Structure 1
Amino acid sequence: MMLKRLFSRKADPEPVVDDWPQAPDGTRVYAIGDVHGRLDLLDALLERIADESLRNPAESVHLVMLGDLIDRGPQSAQVVERLLTVPKGVDEMHLLMGNHEEALLEILDGAHSQLPGWIRYGGEQALQSYGLEDTSIFGDREALVAKIHAGIPASHVRLFRSMVDYVQIGDYLFVHAGIFPGRPLEQQQAHDLRWIRDEFLDDNRDHGVMVVHGHTITPDVDCRVNRIGIDTGAYRSGMLTALVIEGSSRRFLKTGQGIAA
């Protein structure tokens, strides 16, 4: 069975604590970390979500994708295609903008100077998934960008442009990278939400919400008093992580590490 092979262990819920953050009554939230082109791992988690929704229905099931669907792994195009429709067992899907989607959109919008950096940090694999094999940055960049425009379906570009920077569900705030500490949510800058690291990661103050984020790879889930990091480096580790929130309980679903990344 694929699920038995992919999932490392049964995820037990954490003990309920009265003052822990809460999801709204009747709501179950699945937040999935950085996929980075690993369709095999995403499909395993989506199959698990569909199975749980069938066996143990909730009034409302939300799926939050934390961004960086693309680059690095082998199947960026296929991951995006999968998420053009709301997966089975999910009532509402939220797609967050990652720094890798931002970089691609900026290139498509004319920032051609960013092309070498994007290609080097995983864009080459993304373009290959769209059937674009000749991605040399030493030739005509204008011609390469034209090929990218022609090679990526308009429906995929529309999906990237529809992505949001954050979503709040109950006491949880979901973002790609994090927030700038001490700054009200309405004053947060898009660049911080998609790119921030140390200023956010090293800050232990109460943000007023529990922040759930990806972007920074850790060997396992990174649970702190004010944030939960779930980027477990799926593209190279084979472990794609989902945080499951229901009421005041939290648990994790993780794909196994036995798949070549």
Structure 2
Amino acid sequence: MPRERLVMDMRETVVYAVGDVHGCYDQMRVLEQKIQLDAAKFRGRKIIIMLGDYIDRGPQSRRVIEHLMAPPPKGFLRVCLAGNHEVAMLNYLDGYLSREPWLAVGGRETLYSYGVDPAHLANLYASSDEVDERIREAIPAGHIGFLRSLPVMVCSDEFVFVHAGIRPGIAIEAQDEADLLNIRSDFLAAAHRLDRWVVHGHTIVDVPTLDGRRLGIDTGAFQSGRLTALRIVGKYGRLLSSRD
């Protein structure tokens, strides 16, 4: 089933886009509190758009998912987009991806957060299928349902919010889902050709810097300790960080 693509009217709206969390629950909570303080000076609708990759690499993927499943801060709407790491986890759980490729990109840390040590299971059970079965049993059905429900893009007349980016020269409605989740060089090399502002994560940057009409805000929280948000009011943007 293709993931949902949301179209929203962003007029009279304060938008906070948040980069890749990757299991960094503490940084996410700090940044969320800063967003709430910052938003207090604005009137109108307030939306937090999470740009995907909530799991893997960092230490607290389970807590991140539980937090995002709970109601958003008072006075906010929150939209959580899918990232390629959520899709990889689901592909593993559904049997389309073997265990090792997922573990290698951070799945091991995600399983630790659920109290599962895959190496210990591999020692306990002779059958690899049985190890996979035990792992699948450890992930709550509600969490899996949440990951399956995540839309892949939010767009308005002027903005696109997406995990990885878009393929230049292709209409927004015709974008391939795999590109929205995974694209890198073809998108990054063509920022000057975009006809809307694109806010994305997926590709780590030291400092978010506008490049043509795109802004990447994944500051590698799992290694830098810095989770970044972009606040947009009208045509004006401002960066907020969990470490300012």
TM-score between the two structures when normalised by the length of structure 1: 0.84
CA separation of 1:46/1:207 partners in 2, compared to 1, >3 Å: closer, same or farther? same
CA separation of 1:90/1:212 partners in 2, compared to 1, >3 Å: closer, same or farther? farther
Code of the residue aligned with 2:117 in structure 1: it is E
Report how far residue 206 of structure 1 moved: 3.0
Report how far residue 51 of structure 1 moved: 2.3
8 Å CA contact retained: 1:72, 1:123:
yes
What is the RMSD computed on CA atoms of the aligned residues? 1.8
Between the aligned partners of 1:60 and 1:141, the Cα distance in structure 2 is 50
CA separation of 1:127/1:109 partners in 2, compared to 1, >3 Å: closer, same or farther? same
Report how far residue 109 of structure 1 moved: 1.3
> Residue 71 of structure 1 aligns to a residue in which SS?
coil
Report how far residue 248 of structure 1 moved: 1.3
Residues 16-65 of structure 1 show CA distances to partners (whole Å, capped at 9, x for unaligned) of xxxxxxx8332000000000000010000111122233x32431111111
Between the aligned partners of 1:249 and 1:210, the Cα distance in structure 2 is 12
Aligned pair count reads 233
8 Å CA contact retained: 2:108, 2:118:
no
Query: Which residue number in structure 1 is paired with residue 83 of structure 2?
Result: 98
Report how far residue 141 of structure 1 moved: 2.9
Query: Which residue number in structure 2 is paired with residue 82 of structure 1?
Result: 67
Structure 2 residue aligned with 1:224, among 200, 208, 211? 211
8 Å CA contact retained: 1:38, 1:76:
yes
Between the aligned partners of 2:180 and 2:121, the Cα distance in structure 1 is 29
8 Å CA contact retained: 2:58, 2:109:
yes
Query: Which residue number in structure 1 is paired with residue 198 of structure 2?
Result: 211
Between the aligned partners of 1:197 and 1:45, the Cα distance in structure 2 is 26
- For the pair 1:126 / 2:113, whether they are aligned, the reply is no
Structure 2 residue aligned with 1:248, among 228, 232, 235? 235
> Residue 205 of structure 1 aligns to a residue in which SS?
helix
CA separation of 1:98/1:24 partners in 2, compared to 1, >3 Å: closer, same or farther? closer
Code of the residue aligned with 1:130 in structure 2: it is Y
Report how far residue 136 of structure 1 moved: 6.2
TM-score between the two structures when normalised by the length of structure 2: 0.90
Gaps of 5+ in 1: 1-22
Report how far residue 144 of structure 1 moved: 2.5
CA separation of 1:199/1:90 partners in 2, compared to 1, >3 Å: closer, same or farther? farther
8 Å CA contact retained: 2:48, 2:77:
yes
Residues 179-207 of structure 1 show CA distances to partners (whole Å, capped at 9, x for unaligned) of 11111111111111101110001113332
- For the pair 1:73 / 2:58, whether they are aligned, the reply is yes
Code of the residue aligned with 1:70 in structure 2: it is I
State percent identity of aligned pairs: 40
Gaps of 5+ in 2: 1-8
